[in-house]
Structure formats: structure tokens, C-alpha cells
Amino acid sequence: MRAPTSSSTMPSLVVRMLEELRVEYGHRVLEIGTGTGYSTALLCHRLGDGSVVSVEVDREVSGRAAAPLGACGYQPELVVGDGLAGHREGAPYDRVIATCGVLTMPGSWIDQTKPDGIVLATVGGWLYASELARLTVHGDGTASGRFLGGQISFMLARPHLPPPLGLLPDLGSGEERLTTLGPNLLTGDWTARFVAQLAAPRAQHISMTIEGRTQQILIDVEAGAWAVLTEVDGGWTVRQGGPGRLWNAVEDQVARWRSDGAPALDRFEITVTPDEGQVIRWPGGRWSRG
């Protein structure tokens, strides 16, 4: 599993994102996740500081960014708050860019962007496969676009972080059967993991060694659903409990994706509408709600 962006790789990711943002002089930009202020400074350099608003959830972090920005001669509007709400006071924007990841694109970002404007963010989940998505906003309040490829991940926006695992349910209960899909899916191939994540969007993955056997556990804390994969004689069993069957959903989704030719993530489309929320689709006509 790949860790979210480290401080050494972040500058190059930020530059890639700014290129993908397609900013032009005269654009007004809302940035979510001020962090060190590095990407904010680049935006100010390109557009002028009067055209940049940057929202940071952590007051101390935002305060620390203000000094180096000021030392560079930039005074963008720095806002402390939950960037998932955007910043209505400064709307409308030509571009919205988030350097923290989201599970679903917030409707506020689309509402606050001008028609033909762009919203750019990494969309991911709790199995930690994510991808950069660029959406164009339409005049009817919807947005659509594509994933751009490159396996880009940032730390998730605070309100989208997973809940604590708490006490585990009785993993000896439930029903057991054989499965042909092993837990490599949860740790290996990035796109397969992304697809699995669409099928079980609230599930987290942990490994536990019990009586010398490593078990891979998928658990949706809020719903109380779980699945445990155990290696038996070179194959795998899955034991599932709680409401719904997490592993059945993952198996079905991954099987559909494979039968459609296992398309790469840069061929996936993403739409956001007021009626349906976020929908992610791969070529082949199979739609998956995220």
C-alpha cells in the first residue's frame, strides 16, 4: 500500500497538479489545503496574490504559511476552515484545486466554480488507492471529467478520514467459504484496489496475526460489516459477518471490471450531479457510485 505523499515528493506533485489545473493569467483560484504555502506561492507568482484564496483546516499550519508567503511578497487571502465547504465569500472561481484528497467531490466546489471552470482533486478512499481527477463545471450545476493517471495521492481531507476501528466484532462468527480472490487485491494492483474501494467505500483494511496465521480483515466500522481472508492450503477462505457481505460486493465489482478488459484508471470517467452525487464509470457502460 502506498503512503500518502511524503514531503520530498510533494513539490513535484504540486507542480504536476498546477500544470493539470490549466490556469491562465486573470483566473481566480480557490485552493484547499494551504499546508506549507508552497503551492499557494506558485499560484500567487503565476496569477497575482489578489486572485488566490487558500483554505487550511489547521489554524497553526495556516499561520505558519503566512510568514514565508509574506517574505516572498505575497498576501493571498488565507482562510482557516473546512475547505470541503469551499469559500463562498470569494466565489465564483475559475479554478478549484485541492491538495488534500477526498472520498467524493464536494458539491460546494462545483457550485462555487464558474461554468467551464475546472475542479481538480485526488479522489480516493480508505483502501488508499487514489487518483487525480479533473472535472469541468457545466452551466446546469453538474460537472464531469476524467481521472488523469499517475497514482497521485495526498492525505485525505480531515472530515473524510476513516473512523477509529474501536473494538473488533467477533471475527469467528459469520459464514465461511472459499474465494478465488486473494488479499493481494487489498495491497497490490492500484487500479484493482481502487475498483474494490468503489464496491466497499466505507471499508478499512487491517492485517492481524492470530495463532501464527496472518489474516487480512476488511471492516466497515459504521455498518458493522466485515470480511476476514485466511490462507488455507495455498488458497483462501473468506469469513463474512454483519449486515451485507463486503467481500461478495468486492468480488462482483472486480469481476465486472476484469470482464470489461480491466481498463486503466486514466480511462475512468467521473461525474457529479445534484441528483446522483458522484458517479465513477469505466469504459464498458458499468457505473459505480463512489
Binding residues (CB under 6 A) for ligand SAM: these are 5, 14, 32-33, 35-36, 38-39, 55-58, 61, 82-84, 99-100, 154-155, 157-159
Q: Which is nearer to ligand SAM, 37 or 241 (CB)?
A: 37
Shortest spacing between CB 46 and ligand SAM, in angstroms: 14
CB of 42: closest distance to ligand SAM in angstroms?
Answer: 8
Both ends of the chain: CA-CA distance in Å? 20
Exposure of 202 by Cβ count < 10 A (0-12 exposed, 13-18 middle, 19+ buried)?
Answer: middle
Nearest approach, Cβ of residue 138 and ligand SAM (Å):
25
- When the beta carbons of 82 and 231 are compared against ligand SAM, the nearer one is 82
Min CB(6)–ligand SAM separation in Å: 10
Considering beta carbons, is residue 37 or 183 the nearer one to ligand SAM?
37
Dihedral sign for Cα atoms in the order 180, 185, 189, 191? positive
Counting every residue written for the chain, the total comes to 290
Cell of 132: 487525480
Q: What are phi and psi of 21, to 5 degrees?
A: -75, -20
Considering the complex, state which of residue 14 and residue 200 has its C-beta at the smaller distance from ligand SAM: 14
- What would the grid cell of residue 157 be? 481531507
Specify the residue, 35 or 124, whose C-beta has the smaller distance to ligand SAM.
35
Least distance to ligand SAM from the beta carbon of 38, Å? 3
Sign of CA dihedral 50, 52, 53, 57: negative
Work out how close the CB of 21 gets to ligand SAM at its nearest, in angstroms, rounded to a whole number.
12
Backbone φ/ψ region at 37: left (φ over 0), alpha (ψ -120 to 50), beta: left
d(CA 122, CA 133): 6
- Closer by beta carbon to ligand SAM, 126 or else 282: 126
Backbone angles phi, psi at 246, to 5 degrees: -55, -45
Cβ atoms of residues 99 and 31 within 8 Å: yes
Interstrand relation of 286-289 and 113-123 (parallel, antiparallel or unpaired): unpaired
In this structure, which amino acid lies at residue 97? I
What is the arrangement of strands in the sheet containing 225-232, beginning at the earlier edge strand?
175-179, 235-241, 225-232, 213-220, 204-210
- Rounded to whole angstroms, the Cα distance separating 164 from 45 reads 40
C-alpha to C-alpha distance for 247 and 26, rounded to whole angstroms: 49
Output 152 or 249, the one with its CB closest to ligand SAM: 152
Nearer to ligand SAM, 105 or 171 (CB): 105
At closest approach, how far in Å is the CB of 87 from ligand SAM?
Answer: 10
CB of 101 to ligand SAM, least distance (A): 9
